[in-house]
Amino acid sequence: MAEASSTGNIIRMRILITGGAGFVGSHLSERLLGAGHEVIAVDNFYTGSKNNVAHLRENPRFEIIRHDVTWPLYVEVDAIYNLASPASPIHYQHDPVQTTKTNVVGAINMLGLAKRLGVPILQASTSEVYGDPEVHPQPEAYWGKVNPIGPRACYDEAKRVAETLFFDYHRQHDLKIRVARIFNTYGPRMAADDGRVVSNFIVQALRGEPITIYGDGTQTRSFCYVDDLVSGLIALMDNTSSETGPVNLGNPGEFTMSELATLVLEMTGSKSSLEHRDLPQDDPKQRQPDISKAKKVLNWEPAVALKDGLARTIEYFDGQLAKHPS
């Protein structure tokens, strides 16, 4: 196990982040470096991008390794955040077998590493484990309603198996685990082509293209700004109680797709029209986190309102499209 060092009042740790060049992983890397820690980011760059961490490369406490978590990794660290996985339907359905392997074999490899080193490990799970929920909002005690053989199952079921593995390692090997169930997250460094609704709507609006709404627009999501999510992940990893999770991390503010589209059009000043398309198979009709547990155990709740977060995200995509118009 790596030796944690003390600098002033800060205990500097060496922290491994799988998926560290991804959307969430890059923000987490940035935050942990800002807190004085060393960060080893691991990414195979399937959905992660070197551009997401380019500004961190000169930091002597940051290291980036190209590696696929389906293969074992041997490093010495004090804590592990396991974020590696494609997270949007377009990406995780492109190679469903690899998606399952990344989440299941990747979890086994990272749990094995954590067990060998005797260090805590956090799993970035997902609200997708709830499937198309029949309970609303969704508390952690809800077991979900998931189609195990549908086109989304490679992600939904793989994340459920990963949770099983985490809790079995905890029970069998007394491994210190943390499991976060992450709800829809948005913000700068989302990929413009990842197919997620916030990035889709913003990019289409800025380009003057029709806004594509799948279904009749009444289905709901709850959107959490990435800075709030990162705060929640760190609070969960750092909590000194015996809390393993799962803990829902998301913003309980619930919006229909039509409401989101209207807000994006208003904030961008776009004249884009709305275009309705068929709802994809097994797409959840509603999604809203019950964050009572996060409030109680972590003293965490999101602070960034949707309109404020969208403003920052629109500014980011506006800059990206100016650099890369097509």
pLDDT digit string, tens, across residues 117-151: 999 999 999 999 999 999 999 999 999 999 999 89
Tokens representing residue 201 in the block:
């709507």
223 close to 289: Cβ distance less than 8 angstroms? no
Cα(118)–Cα(102) distance, integer angstroms: 23
Is 81 designated active site? no
41 close to 64: Cβ distance less than 8 angstroms? yes
| Residue with tokens 């998926």, as numbered in its chain | 19
Cα(167)–Cα(170) distance, integer angstroms: 5
Work out the mean pLDDT of the chain and round it to a whole number: 93
Active site residue: 92, 130, 155, 225, which one?
155
Q: Which stretches within the chain are classed as H helix?
A: 23-34, 50-53, 89-92, 96-117, 153-173, 197-207, 226-238, 257-268, 292-293, 306-323
Cα(61)–Cα(152) distance, integer angstroms: 38
| pLDDT above 90 (res 92) | no
Among 193, 257, 189, 285, residue whose Cα is nearest residue 229: 189
Query: How many C-beta atoms lie closer than 10 Å to residue 36's C-beta?
Result: 15
User: What pLDDT digit, counting tens, does each position of 225-277 carry?
Assistant: 999 999 999 999 999 888 999 999 999 999 999 999 999 999 999 999 999 99
88 close to 195: Cβ distance less than 8 angstroms? yes
| Topology annotation, domain 5-184+225-251+282-303 | Rossmann fold (3.40.50)
Cα(264)–Cα(206) distance, integer angstroms: 9
Rounded to the nearest 10 degrees, what angle do helices 257-268 and 306-323 cross at? 60
pLDDT of 90: 74
Among 42, 48, 143, residue whose Cα is nearest residue 88: 48
162 close to 156: Cβ distance less than 8 angstroms? no
Q: Which residues contact 54 (CB under 8 A, 6 or more apart)?
A: none
Partners of 179 in beta bridges: 123
| pLDDT band (50, 70, 90) for residue 6 | low
Burial of 34 (C-beta count, 10 Å sphere; 0-12/13-18/19+): exposed
- pTM of the model as a whole: 0.94
Kindly report whether the peptide bond that precedes residue 133 is cis, defined as omega within 30 degrees of 0: no
Largest Cα–Cα distance in the chain? Answer: 58
| pLDDT band (50, 70, 90) for residue 1 | very low
Q: Name the residue ranges covered by the structural domains of the chain.
A: 5-184+225-251+282-303
| pLDDT band (50, 70, 90) for residue 25 | very high
Highest mean pLDDT, choosing among 1-10, 281-290, 309-318: 309-318
| pLDDT above 70 (res 3) | no
